[in-house]
Amino acid sequence: MKVHNPMISYHSLEGGKSDRVMGVDAHPDVCQGVVVFATVGGGGSGEVRIWSIAPGDEQPKFRSALAKGHDGSVNCARWAPDGCRLASAGDRGTVCLWRGGSDAAWWCELDEKNERARCDHLNHADDVYDVAWSPCGKWLLTGAIDGAATVWDTCTRRPVKVLRDHAHYIQGVCWDPLGSYLATASSDRSLKVYELPPKWHASKKNLKTTTVRWWTDPHEIPQKKGKKTAEEPKAKPRSALFASETAHASFFRRLCASADGSLIITPGAASKDNAKGSVTLSRTQLDRGPVSFLPSPDGSATACRACPALIEGGSSSLVAVCAHDAVAVYDVSSNSPRALASGLHYAALTDAAWAADASLLIVASADGYLSFLRFEPGDLGAKCAAPPRVPLPAGLDDLPRAPPAPQKDDDVVLVGVTPAPPQAPSTPGGAPASPAGSAKKKKRIAPTLLAPPTPVKSPAKSPAKEPAPEADAAPPAKKKKRIAPTLLSAVP
């Protein structure tokens, strides 16, 4: 194993300082050993940057940047299984679906060909910490800090299921590689596993949920509510399986499923003697507690990423566990690491990504740098084999493929919205105006008598008024009135 830690500023802040790297993921297509990967930063620039590294290179090369999709910090980025879409999630509830070609070379030549990846938006109510694709690439699972995990249909961009079973932040989500379940981890110190029956996406019923919260010990009896009798044995307090927010000082609890889908590996766990690490849980025996405990080499574990290839003929799976300043590659069938690297960074590790051929492991840190762990043939196992690919369910062959050429020169073009058919102009009354030559005849409606008419008395006829004199005619002369004299007193 060879470790390289090039001093490259993958995301820069104002003033030239290096921004923290919050997430990293590798493209599923590896051509001639060249690994293409995406990084996201937490400084608020909102860019998703594409890089590539060849087998003989110690430093990656910058290829392109996906800008104008986020307005704030970006916390996670994950490629779809088909490689033609990249999902990035960040603060303010923004989830971007970048669409392009299925091969890695298309993403590397964006700036050279002056092309742009098209972007769809999924809006959450609050910040999104983690995303996970379904094995067929039809649905996307997102987890937000409002305690809601949402399953989105990436073709219609509408939510299919909204899971509100957590009481606090959701810090990690994962989807079973075989498509039979999905899981979420939260800062409320619990793990939720949801079964996916056939046609679950078309059913309105709630998914069957299993909660894992405690260490299972036959000597520990769960405490019962109510009054205790003298015959009842004294119950011991149960031990919590996951560490509290104070002990787990990280934004993320990025869990994963093994390559064969039989195990769930969850970070942020704490043993009964307060040892920090990760736990593996059997998918079929969740009620029996952890199968094994993977101790963390340094501090609390923040992220687990399963190796996409099976080793030793498919009898075992590998998982990379990121701690505060160390990364260990475990075989899930044993508690001893097959590879260990520590002292790589000055800040906590945030994420990790495997190359599709398991030849390279990329580790991201909050100090703004990446570490590259290269494995020679035979370092991890005698034989590597790819896990079986989950076929697309029947009736879901409408997945978006490589987009057509954009019609505008903008960096971001919203797609997935079918333009409405042209409508006829409306009249002032609100009704659409009919075209010339096709005017409809008015339909005559016969009146209906609802009640007999009420008789109304006719008013008395008033005497006819004399016509008013014309304005030009002279007014008639007034006659003088003669007054008869009255004798008041006689004259002597």
Q: Percent of the chain scored above 90 by pLDDT?
A: 35
User: Rounded CA gap, 199 and 172, in Å?
Assistant: 25
Whether 128 has a pLDDT exceeding 60, the answer reads yes
**Of 369, 373, 372, nearest in space to 10 by CA:** 369
Residue 350 belongs to some domain of the structure: yes
Residues 6+ apart with CB under 8 A from 177: 135, 257, 258, 259, 260, 261, 387, 390
Whether 490 has a pLDDT exceeding 80, the answer reads no
Point out the least confidently predicted range of 165-169, 245-249, 476-480.
Answer: 476-480
pLDDT of residue 231: 57
Residue 58 belongs to some domain of the structure: yes
Residue 310: beta bridge partners? 385
In tens, the pLDDT along 356-388 reads 888 899 999 999 999 999 998 878 876 555 555
User: Rounded CA gap, 46 and 79, in Å?
Assistant: 17
In tens, the pLDDT along 74-105 reads 999 999 999 999 999 998 889 999 998 888 88
Q: Report whether 263 contacts 283 (CB < 8 A).
A: yes
Nearest-5° angle of CA 308, CA 78, CA 139?
Answer: 95
Point out the least confidently predicted range of 123-137, 335-349, 405-419.
Answer: 405-419
Neighbours of 455 (CB within 10 A): 6
**Of 271, 255, 167, nearest in space to 214 by CA:** 271
pLDDT of residue 482: 65
Neighbours of 93 (CB within 10 A): 19
In tens, the pLDDT along 410-445 reads 333 333 333 344 444 443 444 444 444 444 445 555
CATH number at residue 189: 2.130.10.10
pTM given for the model: 0.75
Residue 193 belongs to some domain of the structure: yes
Q: Which residue has the higher pLDDT, 440 or 257?
A: 257
User: Rounded CA gap, 221 and 235, in Å?
Assistant: 5
pLDDT of residue 186: 92
Residue 392 belongs to some domain of the structure: no
Q: Which residue has the higher pLDDT, 442 or 25?
A: 25
Whether 32 has a pLDDT exceeding 70, the answer reads yes
Q: Which residue has the higher pLDDT, 347 or 407?
A: 347
Confidence of residue 255 (pLDDT cuts 50, 70, 90): very high
Residue 227 belongs to some domain of the structure: no
In tens, the pLDDT along 272-312 reads 788 888 999 998 888 888 888 998 887 888 999 999 887 76
Q: Compute the average pLDDT of residues 235-263.
A: 81
Residue 450 belongs to some domain of the structure: no
Residue range(s) defining the domain that contains residue 139: 2-220+236-385
Summary mean pLDDT of the chain: 78
Residue 401 belongs to some domain of the structure: no
Domain count, the chain: 1
Residue 126 belongs to some domain of the structure: yes
User: Rounded CA gap, 148 and 203, in Å?
Assistant: 19
pLDDT of residue 393: 47
Q: Which residue has the higher pLDDT, 346 or 397?
A: 346
Confidence of residue 33 (pLDDT cuts 50, 70, 90): confident
